[in-house]
């Protein structure tokens, strides 16, 4: 089954293949109907020798698409649009779930120069929109904001590249383990910050970046762009407040803190005495998470990631 690669991995693979003399094509999911394993904007690379990188369906159509590409049956010129699952028979043959359907844009990649620019933007924590004109095939790069995610029309496609969504968790406790596991499954970069000495098993945080700096230093290092999230989970006011003081004046998209309603009100009072402004304080989600009646650490972790996901989708709808 094809691997779900990140955008950055796809770009780096495309650059490497181009520099090796290959002429790969880039496949983008531009529209889905019904139940689809991969969201719009998902990317995949194909080479004529049969190599693939990334995925557009989770294994349902890749083999068929590659066979058609190698047999030169997709199009005479690129970019071109391919529709999979047009009817129920085809959806069933390809294994698309629940009669799903997806539309794909296929581009011929010719040069690594523009892709290298995109990689540079990502490394510099800059958001850039890659725009493909569906009429002329022209590809251009434009500045983007956190609200610019993916857009597709009859005229052009626009996909935003930039820093990966990341979540900085203050505290390496039991709750952080569950939040980290869910966030990793959702393709977040997860950073765990805890300056306290601990003999606990760190294997629970496999796949995470673990830092032992003070919370304010971690916020200054990692909450540097609008795809950053900071959640304070230590229950220690000295550590949580230290992180929040810097986070509330950062460009982070979401800032949350664990605690009861009473403790969160006391926290707000403390932060006001530390010169946190009223507009900054309004950014704080505390108690953190959606009110779903959660009590156990796994349930609280679900509520936290659910609230973050809900707010991200609201931003898209309002943009």
Mean local confidence (pLDDT), 113-133: 91
Find the helix packing angle between 174-185 and 297-318, rounded to 10°.
40
Between CA 19 and CA 23 the distance in angstroms is 9
- At 275 the pLDDT is 93
CATH of the domain at 196: 3.40.50.720
- At 96 the pLDDT is 55
- At 299 the pLDDT is 96
Name the residue range of residue 61's domain: 7-161
- At 89 the pLDDT is 52
Whether 140 and 236 share a structural domain: no
Query: pLDDT by residue (tens digit) across 175-219?
Result: 999 999 999 888 788 999 999 877 566 777 888 999 999 999 999
- At 246 the pLDDT is 97
Pure H helices in 49-155: 62-70, 88-94, 113-123
Whether 151 and 196 share a structural domain: no
Tokens of 64: 């068929």
Whether 47 and 136 share a structural domain: yes
Whether 18 and 44 share a structural domain: yes
- Answer yes or no: is pLDDT of 1 > 50: no
Whether 156 and 176 share a structural domain: no
- At 319 the pLDDT is 53
Tokens of 16: 């490497």
Query: pLDDT by residue (tens digit) across 219-249?
Result: 999 999 888 999 999 999 999 999 999 999 9
Whether 128 and 231 share a structural domain: no
Q: Note the residue count of the chain.
A: 319
- Answer yes or no: is pLDDT of 34 > 70: no
- At 76 the pLDDT is 84
Whether 174 and 157 share a structural domain: no
Mean local confidence (pLDDT), 146-163: 87
Whether 192 and 148 share a structural domain: no
- At 268 the pLDDT is 96
The domain tally of the chain equals 2
Least confident segment among 21-25, 154-158, 185-189, 212-216:
185-189
3-state helix, strand, coil in the chain (%, to 5): 35, 25, 40
Between CA 152 and CA 255 the distance in angstroms is 31
Whether 155 and 208 share a structural domain: no
Whether 100 and 207 share a structural domain: no
Between CA 15 and CA 126 the distance in angstroms is 19
- In this predicted model, which residue has the larger pLDDT, 81 or 199? 81
Of the chain, the percentage scoring pLDDT greater than 70 comes to: 89
Q: 120 by DSSP, 3-state: which?
A: helix
Query: pLDDT by residue (tens digit) across 254-298?
Result: 999 999 999 999 999 999 999 999 999 999 999 999 999 998 999
């Amino acid at each position: 089954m094809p691997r779900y690669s990140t955008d950055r991995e796809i770009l780096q693979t495309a650059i490497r293949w181009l520099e090796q003399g290959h002429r790969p094509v880039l496949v983008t999911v531009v529209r889905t109907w019904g139940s689809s394993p991969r969201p719009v904007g998902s990317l995949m690379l194909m080479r004529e020798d049969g190599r693939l990188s990334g995925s557009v369906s989770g294994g349902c159509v890749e083999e068929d698409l590659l066979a058609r590409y190698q047999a030169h049956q997709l199009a005479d010129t690129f970019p071109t649009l391919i529709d999979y699952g047009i009817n129920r028979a085809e959806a069933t043959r390809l294994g698309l779930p629940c009669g799903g359907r997806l539309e794909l844009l296929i581009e011929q990649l010719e040069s690594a120069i523009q892709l290298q620019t995109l990689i540079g933007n990502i490394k510099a924590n800059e958001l850039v929109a890659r725009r493909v004109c569906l009429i002329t095939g022209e590809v251009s790069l434009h500045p983007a904001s956190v609200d610019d995610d993916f857009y597709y029309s009859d005229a052009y496609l626009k996909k935003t590249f930039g820093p990966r969504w990341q979540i900085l968790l203050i505290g390496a406790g039991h709750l952080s383990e569950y939040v980290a596991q869910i966030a990793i499954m959702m393709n977040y970069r997860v950073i765990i910050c805890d300056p306290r000495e601990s003999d606990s098993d760190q294997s629970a945080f496999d796949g995470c970046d673990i830092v032992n700096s003070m919370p304010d230093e971690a916020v200054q290092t990692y909450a540097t762009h609008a795809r950053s999230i900071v959640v304070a989970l230590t229950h220690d006011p000295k550590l949580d407040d230290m992180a929040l003081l810097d986070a509330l004046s950062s460009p982070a998209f979401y800032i949350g803190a664990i605690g009861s309603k009473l403790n969160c009100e006391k926290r707000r009072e403390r932060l006001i005495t530390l010169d946190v402004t009223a507009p900054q304080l309004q950014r704080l989600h505390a108690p953190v998470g959606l009110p779903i009646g959660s009590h156990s650490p796994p349930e609280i972790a679900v509520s936290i990631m659910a609230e973050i996901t809900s707010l991200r989708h609201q931003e898209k709808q309002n943009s």
